[in-house]
């Protein structure tokens, strides 16, 4: 009878343990996204990890790990943006905090130099930007033209002075010529 009682206790314990194990199995697993409403998945059911718009679901059998890889090419909606450090790219363009930006509103160099600019085409119809070298050449040409103009002004002033002197001398000569010649005979009255 003792063995029968022990066997009964073992059987009862086994039934209790089996019932507890079944209850645990029946609970399944709960999954939620970002702390939202849980979805209960029963044991034996499948959880599917699907690719997203900009991600690829990957299973690594060596580590029995599921993960999401970010795709090399990311497509965002008009409201989307990508931020890396101080750099933000969104639908309006590229902005670097405290630095330059290229947006639909225009280009702002952020008080930085623009360097390594190829010489732009200079013509009446060109819409190219020019670089420092081209501006330097223009400045040298303007300086040369200004020096030529200054020399021309100096030469014109000298020519004007020469002309004024010639006019004065001509007027004096005319005055002398207008007096004519006076002759007198033996000290008489000049006529």
**Domain coordinates in residue numbering, the chain:** 49-75, 79-114, 119-179
Tokens of 24: 């645990």
Rounded Cα distance between 155 and 153, Å, is 5
Average pLDDT over residues 158-176: 95
Tokens of 117: 């600019």
Question: Any idea what the Cα angle at residue 57 is, between residues 52 and 63, rounded to 5°?
Answer: 160
Residue 166 has pLDDT above 90, yes or no: yes
Under the banding of pLDDT at 50, 70 and 90, the label for residue 182 is: confident
Strands 81-84 and 93-96: unpaired
Contact 68, 55 (CB under 8 A): yes
Residues present in the chain in total: 191
Rounded Cα distance between 88 and 141, Å, is 43
Give percent of the chain above pLDDT 90.
57
The pTM score is: 0.48
Question: Any idea what the Cα angle at residue 146 is, between residues 142 and 152, rounded to 5°?
Answer: 145
CATH class (in words) of the domain with range 79-114? mainly beta
Q: Residue 131 phi/psi, 5° resolution?
A: -110, 180
Rounded Cα distance between 49 and 31, Å, is 12
Instruction: Share the mean pLDDT of the chain.
Output: 90
SS3 call for 116: coil
């Amino acid at each position: 009878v003792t063995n029968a009682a022990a066997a009964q206790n073992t059987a009862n314990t086994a039934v209790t343990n089996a019932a507890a194990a079944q209850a645990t199995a029946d609970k399944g697993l709960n999954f939620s996204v970002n702390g939202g409403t849980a979805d209960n998945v029963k044991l034996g059911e499948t959880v599917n990890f699907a690719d997203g718009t900009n991600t690829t679901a990957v299973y690594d059998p060596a580590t029995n790990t599921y993960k999401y890889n970010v795709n090399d090419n990311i497509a965002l909606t008009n409201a989307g943006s990508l931020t890396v450090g101080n750099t933000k790219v969104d639908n309006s363009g590229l902005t670097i905090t405290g630095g330059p930006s290229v947006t639909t509103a225009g280009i702002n160099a952020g008080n930085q130099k623009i360097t390594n600019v190829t010489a732009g085409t200079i013509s009446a119809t060109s819409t190219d930007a020019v670089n420092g070298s081209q501006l330097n050449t223009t400045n040298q040409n303007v300086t040369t033209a200004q020096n030529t103009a200054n020399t021309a002004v100096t030469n014109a002033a000298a020519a004007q002075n020469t002309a004024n002197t010639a006019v004065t001398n001509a007027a004096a000569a005319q005055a002398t010529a207008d007096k004519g010649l006076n002759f007198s005979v033996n000290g008489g009255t000049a006529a």
